[in-house]
Amino acid sequence: MKRFRGMVLAGIVLSMLAVNFCSAKDRKVGEDTTETQEQEMASGTKEEAAVKGTVKLPVFMVDFPDNRFQEGVLPSDKLKTLLFSENQNSMTTRAKDISDSQLHLDGDIFYYTAKYDMEKYENSNDPTEELAREVLSAFDSQIDYMDYDSNDDKYVDVFVLNVAGEDTCWQETNGIWKENSGFQLDGMKFGRYIVNDAQPYTDNEDGFVERMNYEFDLCMGLTDYYKR
């Protein structure tokens, strides 16, 4: 049954390639639709997702002065293993299964404490993008964002903000860059991103990985297969 379900999901993903997504390292699939899609997008907005080749994600674990990660938070090396190894439930393994081994996910983990309390961002006009710009800028001297552009289109394929604490402002948020579309670092623009509130603790490893898989599926435009 598990193998059958994986085959069905793979078929769904592959059937969507020519219509909805551009390829990573191979732009032949969907090539005829890419120009039209980009013309229809809002200025500077990225609405494509890579579904072939190797895609590398920067994952930022973000807490706040008034809402810090507590004892039991998973270290970056453990999180990298959970998400981007050959473990059965990892993001890497799931992407491989549902893409018929055509998509390989990899990623890096970074921890960051925001400049302000959580409420300050939540009361802004666009909490996610205000926080995203701060986090991305803070790591500009450490990260070459070109490393996260798998199809050389001058957009970071996708990045993740995983926010400390559970609050409705950050729940199940994924989307595309809407404000300040001219924002660039290392000559790269930023398109799709995921904001996730799954908590990275030792007693929530399975739930954390499951939520990350769920959010990534939505970011790619796949059907919601989240386990209720």
pLDDT for residue 134: 96
pLDDT along the chain (228 residues), means of 10: 45 36 31 34 43 86 94 95 92 89 93 95 87 96 95 91 80 65 91 87 93 83 50
Q: What residue type is assigned to position 50 of the chain?
A: A
Q: Give the model's pLDDT for residue 48.
A: 46
Residue 91 has phi, psi (to 5 degrees) of -65, -35
- What's this model's pTM, rounded to 2 decimal places? 0.75
What are 219's two structure tokens? Answer: 């970011």
